[in-house]
Amino acid sequence: MLPAQLTSPKARVYAMLDTDGDGTASRHDYFVRIERARRATGRTPDDPLVLAALAAGERAWAAMDANGDGVMTFAEYDAWVDADKFDHVCRHALAALFDLADADQDGALRRSEFTALREALGNRPDHADAAFDALDTDADGLVGRDEYLASIRAYVTGDGSPMGDSLY
């Protein structure tokens, strides 16, 4: 059995950020997720939404990698991320990725858009599917931007999130 700190919400999110599984989240790990989302949505590198996601990613990475060494250890991430950092840094980067996946720009993702985005970000398809079901409480086949971001915030800050529990 793993120590509790390795199964905490922050540890699970961090493990997803470490795309190459080497134990640290690097700048490359962080930005490969944006590139995967770009490819999953079929957008070109010069698409305004891709450029917005990259710009938001640059701001987020600069805040997370405060010492500028190109890597963020779990200890650094664990000490850094909290509700304030989510609201002022992470939310904007995640919102830009949501917008990238929102094909018709209506502020909501359909199951296929949601699953494609979450797979690009490192979640298993079955987890993404279960997370969509957890968020789509009115069963209209849509997940809104605000509810998506609120659910991630709740998970990362330890307030509990059915979506987060399903994703990770």
- The structural domains of the chain, with segments of one domain joined by +, span 4-167
Question: Quick check: 58 pLDDT over 80?
Answer: yes
This prediction has a pTM of: 0.89
Contact yes or no for 160/149 (Cβ under 8 A): no
Residues in the chain: 168
> Quick one: average pLDDT of 17-42?
94
Report the C-alpha gap between 40 and 13 in whole angstroms.
20
Higher pLDDT, residue 2 or 113: 113
The H or E element containing residue 154 is helix 145-156
pLDDT of the residue at 9:
83
SS3 113: helix
Q: How confident is the model at residue 3 (pLDDT cuts 50, 70, 90)?
A: very low
Contact yes or no for 129/111 (Cβ under 8 A): yes
> Quick one: average pLDDT of 4-20?
80
Report the C-alpha gap between 81 and 40 in whole angstroms.
27
Quick one: tokens of 30? 């962080």
Report the C-alpha gap between 148 and 135 in whole angstroms.
7
Report the C-alpha gap between 25 and 19 in whole angstroms.
7
> Quick one: average pLDDT of 144-154?
91
H helices present in 42-124, as ranges: 48-64, 74-80, 83-85, 91-101, 111-120
- What crossing angle do the helices spanning 27-41 and 9-17 adopt, rounded to 10°? 80
To which CATH superfamily is domain 4-167 assigned?
Answer: EF-hand (1.10.238.10)
The residues, any chain, with a CB within 8 Å of residue 97's CB and separated by 6 or more, are 34, 37, 53, 117, 121
Report the C-alpha gap between 144 and 98 in whole angstroms.
9
Contact yes or no for 54/34 (Cβ under 8 A): yes
Question: Quick check: 141 pLDDT over 90?
Answer: yes
